[in-house]
Chain A
Amino acid sequence: MRRIVLYEGFERFWHWAQALIILTMMLTGFEVRGVGWHLFGFQRAVALHNILAVTLLVLIVFAIFWHFTTGEWRQYIPTRKFLREMIAFYVTGIFKGAPHPVRKHRMAKLNPLQRLAYFGFKVLIIPVQVTSGALYYYYPNLQHSLGWPPATLWVIAVVHVLGAFGLVAFLIGHVYLTTTGHTPLTNIKAMLTGWEELEDDAYFDET
């Protein structure tokens, strides 16, 4: 076993900042939708939601820059290799104490399911939310200049809300799966400190 920095400083900052922003956007977003809580007050919730949307966009721009300059974007390329095994692991193996079918190493820290999930998150859920959110925000201007029918706003809102529900479901699954590491807190600790213990062979295979 060997301890290495699996998640670099920016990566951790990006992850937790994004988590905080998205969580607050969930709270404010569902507040203005009127699901029942009143944490910020409507007007402040709307203002905060919009400010956070811009903040998230800025963060995403930096993250994209980081991913491309470091080459880390390759970590998210979906693969079918070991996909079947991973599914089998979560469906049955995990209950029997079977070993994790994919070993982490520095250049492949995500298993095929993670790759799929995070790839989907990045190219589907986030773009849908950003786009529908921007259309929502600028709807009065667009409706005015493009002459959109009133039903357009309904469609935009429904897409945005369904995306938000999807994000909540994603968050639940995501948080649960962090507990499937060596111990329930192993993965979260790694995401906080960056350090993770990898098995030697995995490390040396790569080097």
Chain B
Amino acid sequence: MAGTLAEKVWEAHLVRRGTEGSPDLLYIDLHLVHEVTSPQAFEGLRLAGRPVRRPDLTIATEDHNTPTLNIDRPIADLTSRTQIDTLRKNVEEFGVRIHSLGDADQGIVHVVGPQLGLTMPGLTVVCGDSHTSTHGAFGALAFGIGTSEVEHVLATQTLPLQPFKTMAITIKGDLPEGSTAKDIILAIIAKIGTGGGQGYVLEYRGEAIRKLSMEGRMTICNMSIEAGARAGMIAPDETTFEYLKGRPHAPEGADWDAAVEYWKTLRTEDDAVFDTEVVLEAKDIEPFVTWGTNPGQGLPLSADVPNPADIADENERVAAQRALEYMGLTAGTPLREVKVDTVFIGSCTNGRIEDLRAVVDIIKGRTKHDDVRVLVVPGSARVRLQAEAEGLDQVFKDFGAEWRNAGCSMCLGMNPDQLKPGERAASTSNRNFEGRQGKGGRTHLVSPLVAAATAIRGTLSSPADLEPATASELVGAGA
């Protein structure tokens, strides 16, 4: 058997090996569908008179367009409503399962798959969404595809693919207090660049990765695409099995035992060779923030806004100049002094229950900074329900945050949750592109811990910057 984790999963799904430069044909175990990248694919099937080959390996949810307020009323934006209605009609016609707005299992497709126990080690998982790489946290080979490929998978349950190269990214040692999975991935992208992973499947390894929860591992694999990689993977272990056991679609009885036995073989052999290897020391990873307009333009929070003149590569220098202009930042300003207007907590990167708990640990007993709007959008309706069962929603409300319904929301602003021109956000999401969170909006990517501290101080901050809560900050004091 081939040596690396990625190669093992690839080999196990080979329907037909390509010859003379033609691609391999790979079987797809799980196809996740949402409203934005599927309508033209279903239309293609209809025009060709083709059925969905395996509705029982397909599942749909509504996430990109859905409002996070008033979800029991008709969607105000007519084009959004049309797109969601189109998905509902399509899944009915083709017999595909859906979790619609208002359903307890609705939410961001990459939060829903794992929480239902559909995402498992050793699977191939695809979705018309680049953040499908999230599912690699389980040791699945999971990657985003375009709409033509969505149609291809619906029709054939396979994809023709050219083999990927493999890259090992090893994080040695232990993370310092206050640093998180998000800081690891932002540091990786800053190191290898937004194109560094092109053509590769990344495998994250090392002690710091092993010690992460499944949520943390998903945060890392989620942003593999921001390094240009098609997929990111982490070998499954007891943490993975523990997370899966008892979930609605997890195998049971003899199937569970057979599965675990197989899953334990899903690790890179000691003598396997990666095409490229990158090593980072966990102890050097501080809380990270982005200052520019691509996810590779990031620095430790303790740094200053960089000076483009110091960048040797001409393309990089011009890009940095443009980015600073767009972001309204001056070289040399300490990042800690950058004031924000909005804090967004959510997305397929950091909208899981553990992320919300981490934020609550910081903000409990405090109130937000007066000039900051704080939006908390759970990754799925189940995450919202669980947070409410734990009383987290009340902490957010007391803090002064808006507690919303689930969806992609301000990560990409396809629904009404958008930044205004010139508005600046600290965001736990994954992309800081120009206009991503709203036309003219300025995005700094941060971890949930940095988002929480920033919401309190009003400038980019980490929990280490916080004074102990004073009496006047305590909720209800003097009211």
Query: Do A and B make up one complex?
Result: no
